[in-house]
A and B are shown apart, each in its own frame.
Chain A
């Protein structure tokens, strides 16, 4: 992997892409902070403790808060983190500068889109949750702002592909460097994946909210939504994977086991991320069971790259632990640098990913899904994935990336470590409780149960589990306060000490290299594989979507909050 020396640390003039990356990153973390604010309140809700009456003058109801939580954490924060990492890392690896004008265009699109969507959200005019299923109808500004925000990622696609093309021209016949390969496949996957959402919002929801359409077909809207809604989770996850593959082994003191397998993983995500959306529609009428079964099979396939990742990352960490002097069956674990907040964040995040992945296989298994669909099992599951692994990977990366970008050393390292332990413990307790409440007592998700005597009576048998939610909420609140203190104290201090920060992106070395590997050669034909991915999507979605588009049954919108 080509590692280039960086330009001047203290002046962004030498490296304007650093400033861009920092802005994307910090905007994302601000979104995370505001979104996360509601997290503990939601945990308390599922503990039977209702604090929402106290928020009344500012926030009108539980669902307004939940919409903010979902949108800011799962859409805004995750996308901005992807735009920061998956443009900056290839730029550093290739030693190239992205087109800075367009980079700033993407930043401003994201910021303006965010602000436009924020207005109706804060005015309680768009409390439709982050899935905005019609016929619940939000203010037009919500859809318009969200569209502008998502379209900002298309600029990032261009930025990454353009750098790749420039590099290829200068290095004919060479294999694309690893991070760049990951970035290219990641952005192509997103290009394909985002189409559903773009069609839904641009062709239907915006005209509908502006009054140009009387109604929309809710089933078609769900189908378009979940066309994007599944791969979007890989859009969230893969920046964390890219960092885990290409920086974590080095930070932990070892090397990545295999470069070609890492490419294979990203290629499999490109191929299988999209044609699986019906596993979010197992409960829907209007989609034939055999189509659901086909998507089940494809969903199982998309578990494979994560299974490979589990092995490669674990083996790379073992390599690190043994390099650090760890002996015996488990000694290498103790020998990992647990006192490095970045490594700690990844280790704990991946630990949570094990039950998270197992739960994902349960959700994908049709009959098991019928038991837990739309119960709190589901938020239990995805807080292990996105709420723990992805978020902790981002927090952990911020611990070196913000210093690297700004030249300002990390402050309060002890607090950084504590924040990661507490986040992990809090998430573990909360997700454990949510899984069981959903599975055993059918407690529904997205429900203001603490504000409803009927609901508290209906779910009273889960009282013991509810206590755990309150405990977890308190722990997570403390974890969040510690983390954001460290983040802002680091970024806002006036001290710049370039000698104390990581001067270069800590790209790892690899044991099994790409050069000479036939697997790497095979994965290198990116456009061919993109064509295959497209074909898979057409096969898995084409007939159903054609049928739905030609038989629409529009219904009028409602506002019930």
Chain B
């Protein structure tokens, strides 16, 4: 066995090349998907004064707005819930969420979708999604935000 060390090194080189090749493939796939699913990538839609969120501006009036054939939603994620308490949209249309928090960091994961942004006080995070299948989708807070964190669940109703 000890004499085989050079054979082993050849195999090891092959393994490293194989590993690098796989990584290259992954990187290309990720790059492609990032472009193809651009809307699901959380981006910044401006900043706000976290202490004013409840009293002034778009988020003091959390709502679903219909703009042409699309929806724009303003969501306040607070300890421990979401406003508006219920979001209703129609299937097959683009929904753009703008979300911020007046207190701690929160999550906004919509089950069975790729929507999963971090909600950070002072930052407005934007993501969008087209719901293809009607039904109810849970919104889950998945960032620890205090004692009521586990209760922080809401829903989106997608109508046909």
Contact = CB atoms under 8 A, between A and B. Distances in A.
A255 to B, nearest CB: 7
B151 A367 contact: no
Given A308-B16, A366-B30, A374-B116, A448 B150 contact: yes
A454 to B, nearest CB: 5
Given A133-B105, A303-B23, A311 B12 contact: yes
Interface stretch (B32-40, B59-67, B68-76, B84-92): B32-40
B30 A367 contact: yes
A441 B138 CA distance: 10
B151 A553 contact: no
List 4 A-B pairs, minimum CB-CB distance, nearest first.
A560-B146, A444-B142, A374-B142, A452-B150
B149 A447 contact: yes
A370 B120 contact: no
Given A452-B151, A455-B153, A285 B44 contact: yes
Interface residues of A, number: 70
A258 B8 CA distance: 10
Identify whether the interface residues of B are mostly helix, strand, loop, or mixed.
mixed
Interface string B5-41: 1001101100110011001001101110110011011
A301 B103 contact: no
Contacts of A442: 109, 111-112, 138, 140, 142
A511 B12 CA distance: 14
A445 to B, nearest CB: 7
Given A255-B2, A289-B41, A555-B122, A373 B138 contact: no
Chain B contact patch, size range: 35 or more
Contacts of A286: 44, 120, 123
Contact of A458 (B145, B146, B153): B153
A556 interface: yes
A370 B9 contact: no
A222 B125 CA distance: 15
Contacts of A289: 34, 38, 41, 43
A455 B144 contact: no
Contacts of B112: 442
Contacts of B114: 367, 370-371
Nearest to B145: A560
B124 interface: yes
A493 interface: no
Contacts of A198: none
Interface stretch (A93-101, A160-168, A292-300, A339-347): A292-300
Contacts of A40: none
Contacts of A292: 41
Nearest to B14: A311
A527 B83 CA distance: 54
Nearest to A371: B114
Given A374-B143, A512-B5, A293 B30 contact: yes
B116 A366 contact: no
Contacts of B118: 281, 283-285
B144 A63 contact: yes
A442 B126 CA distance: 20
Contact of A219 (B37, B41, B120, B126): B120
A404 to B, nearest CB: 28
Given A218-B105, A373-B142, A257 B15 contact: no
Given A311-B15, A458-B138, A561 B146 contact: yes
B5 to A, nearest CB: 4
B34 A366 contact: yes
5 contacts: A218-B105, A289-B43, A300-B23, A361-B26, A454-B150
A45 B126 CA distance: 33
Nearest to A456: B150
A258 B31 CA distance: 35
A451 interface: yes
Interface in B101-160: 103-105, 107, 109, 111-112, 114-118, 120-126, 138, 140-151, 153
B100 to A, nearest CB: 9
A558 B9 contact: no
Contacts of B51: 555-556
A449 interface: yes
Interface string A188-221: 0000000000000000000000000000011100
B43 A285 contact: yes
Contacts of A129: 144
A366 to B, nearest CB: 5
Given A452-B150, A455-B151, A512-B9, A300 B27 contact: yes
A284 B120 contact: yes
